Chain A
């Protein structure tokens, strides 16, 4: 009875005050996010190059067709997917390991817990600079360590495969603490009884992890994974500062590509269409990720 009564009570409150408290947020979001979004949608249907105003006009989906037909865009899209899937996959796996590690009641665990957030506090531009120095081909410490164990000196940021590896590593490094924190919080909500029950049933640690722990982490995995997917997909700062998208576009993902297109060509129509396509791709990726986890839920119940 009580909740219902309470809702009517709240519903009858002054709507005017509600709108007043909401107004600043809606005003700012409307002005700086919604208006640019609608503007981008509108521009994407126009031919609009800042330097050639006499050609302006409605062109329908031409800009989209041009973007999809552009081999450079398609390559950047594949690289973005590769970059995102590798980095998020590594963050989920390592974050899970880290969370399991920190969840153990061990002398010293508290000490470890107070240090692992460190990379999260390092601004992304700084992180990119530090790693650029670590991966320096002449005086970098990465090559020094490699050569100690008899490896070759590698021009990390000068070759396509190693440069991609390097930017993924840096993204993982910076994103790992938050992932660990979220998964650790998820682990702490799992009732001990469920794990103890599984132990009594004679399961080993491996089985307990996959059958008991992981299914109960689903909500957290969806939340943390989605956040990480979106963040990684848009990992502009790290790539821009470390490689600028190079060498020869080897680390050029969609956001770095669109940045260059927008401010070099001043082709607003084309850049807008590209931005909309990128938004669609993010939506698709997050939807796929959620679908993947939800399907796991279905098989768990079988």
Chain B
């Protein structure tokens, strides 16, 4: 093969790669851009034919209306509260449990681990009725606590697996040294182990936050009053309220997506590492 033809081939290969990459990216990014574009249009432009790709007269009127309308900010507050509480509780509980599974041989360890693995397959929708009945029995229907409890429970199995996988790859020597120095299990855990496990805790937190932020079914059924609604349910109820005024809906959609994006950008490195190592090391 001559030198020139190899060079041409490489160039052709580069062009093909970029074409494929652009196709892949535009499929993934297009709906998000369309959501943004629609949210910046005035209502009259929504019903224009043919539709405009970029708003002719960009306006933030839809955002202003949404935010003035009060409900939306309330939903945002509720969502943040529920998601952050779910994240905090799940990470705390999962990190303790994951540590025990990774380090301590106790009676029934294998059986409990297997049970947790199985629990991961159970979707919340299927247990809606018994969970609803339980939350009612506990007197937590239509409260933040009830929703948070349900969210934590369904985020726990995967979180425990994540933390368990993570602790297994932390060398034991440091802990053994701490114990030899006379520190008890609890002290070793909080002073020595937790600081080392920070990257794992962050990955776990991101998983929990995004799961809770996305949660819809429990929020739809365990909460009745409008003041306690979370964003996904609130947005869903807007369909009826705003009719087909898609610019308001899309402005809401952008605002619901934004916190997840901020959370992701802040901790991006950890997410990619956490998920990847979980997948590869299993």
- Name which residue of chain A comes closest to B256, CB basis: A126
User: Among residues 16 to 59 in chain A, which have CB atoms less than 8 Å away from a CB atom of chain B?
Assistant: 17-22, 24-26, 28-29, 31-37, 39-40, 43
Shortest CB–CB separation between residue A221 and chain B, in angstroms?
Answer: 10
**Chain B contacts for A18, CB-based, 8 A:** 100, 104, 106, 185
Would you call B192 an interface residue if the criterion is a C-beta within 8 Å of the partner chain's C-beta atoms? no
Does A173 contact B126, Cβ atoms closer than 8 Å? no
User: What total of chain B residues lie within 8 Å of the partner, measured CB to CB?
Assistant: 94
In the bound complex, CA of A117 to CA of B79 (Å):
22
Q: Give complex CA distance A140, B276 in Å.
A: 37
Chain B residues, Cβ within 8 Å of A186: 279-280
0/1 interface trace, chain A 229-266, chain B, CB 8 Å (1 if under): 01001101100110000000000000100110011000
On whether the beta carbons of B123 and A133 are closer than 8 Å, the reply is no
**Residue pair B276, A40 in contact (C-beta under 8 Å):** no
B106:A19 contact, CB within 8 angstroms: yes
Question: Could you tell me if B103 and A123 are in contact, using CB atoms closer than 8 angstroms?
Answer: no
Contact flags B101-113 to A (C-beta < 8 A → 1, else 0):
0011111000010
CB-defined contacts of A22 to chain B, threshold 8 Å: 96-97, 100, 106, 112
Minimum distance in angstroms from B186 CB to a CB of chain A? 6
Binds A, one of B31-39, B57-65, B195-203: B31-39
* B204: A residues at CB distance < 8 A: none
Q: CB-defined interface of A133-168 with B at 8 Å, one 1/0 digit per residue?
A: 110100111001001000000000000000000000
Among B29, B106, B134, B185, the residue within 8 A (CB) of A36 is B134
Interface centre among A188, A189, A275 (most CB of B within 10 A): A275
Q: Mark contacts of B223-236 with chain A using CB atoms, 8 A cut-off: 1 yes-contact digit, 0 otherwise.
A: 00000000110011
Bound-state CA distance A108–B20 (Å) is 13
Least Cβ distance of A1 to chain B in Å?
15
Q: Is A279 an interface residue (CB 8 A)?
A: yes
User: Which chain A residues border B152 with CB–CB below 8 Å?
Assistant: 28, 32
Encode B203-230 as 1/0 by CB contact (under 8 A) with A: 0000000100110110001000000000
CB pair A119–B232 under 8 Å, yes or no, is no
Chain A residues with CB below 8 A from B221, complex form: 263
A181–B272 CB distance below 8 A:
yes
Query: How many A-B Cβ pairs are below 8 Å?
Result: 269
Contacts of B104 in A (CB 8 A): 10-11, 13, 15, 17-18
How near does chain A come to B154, taking the closest CB pair, in angstroms? 7
Interface flag for A176 (CB, 8 Å): yes
Closest to A22 in B: B100
Residue pair B25, A115 in contact (C-beta under 8 Å): yes
Q: Are A112 and B25 in contact (CB under 8 A)?
A: yes
A256 vs B116: C-alpha distance in the bound complex, in angstroms? 25
Q: Verify B129–A272 contact, CB threshold 8 A.
A: yes
Whose C-beta in chain B lies nearest to the C-beta of A127? B31
Q: Is B85 an interface residue (CB 8 A)?
A: no
Closest to B220 in A: A240
Determine whether the beta carbon of A130 is less than 8 Å from that of B35: yes
- The reply to whether A25 and B156 contact each other, CB–CB distance below 8 Å, is yes
Given known contacts A13-B104, A139-B51, A272-B129, A237 and B276 CB-to-CB distance under 8 angstroms: no
In the complex, what's the smallest C-beta–C-beta distance from B66 to chain A, in angstroms?
A: 14
- Contacting residues, chain A, for B153 (C-beta < 8 A): 28-29, 31-33
CB-nearest residue of chain B to A259:
B125
Known: A40-B126, A279-B121. 17 other contacts (CB 8 A): A13-B179, A25-B156, A29-B115, A32-B152, A35-B134, A40-B130, A101-B24, A117-B264, A129-B239, A139-B47, A173-B27, A181-B272, A181-B276, A182-B276, A255-B123, A258-B125, A278-B126
Residue pairs across A and B with Cβ atoms less than 8 A apart, 26 shown, are A17-B184, A21-B97, A24-B97, A28-B149, A29-B116, A31-B134, A32-B150, A33-B154, A33-B157, A35-B130, A106-B14, A123-B231, A123-B256, A130-B253, A139-B46, A144-B50, A147-B50, A177-B28, A189-B280, A223-B279, A224-B279, A237-B214, A258-B125, A272-B129, A272-B130, A275-B126
Chain A residues near B (Cβ < 8 Å): 6-7, 9-11, 13-15, 17-22, 24-26, 28-29, 31-37, 39-40, 43, 97-98, 101, 104, 106, 108-109, 112, 114-127, 129-131, 133-134, 136, 139-141, 144, 147, 173, 176-178, 181-182, 184-186, 188-189, 219-220, 223-224, 230, 233-234, 236-237, 240-241, 255, 258-259, 262-263, 268, 271-272, 275, 278-279, 282-283, 286
> Which 10 residue pairs spanning A and B have beta carbons closest together?
A185-B276, A32-B153, A36-B130, A234-B123, A25-B97, A125-B232, A17-B185, A21-B96, A275-B126, A18-B104
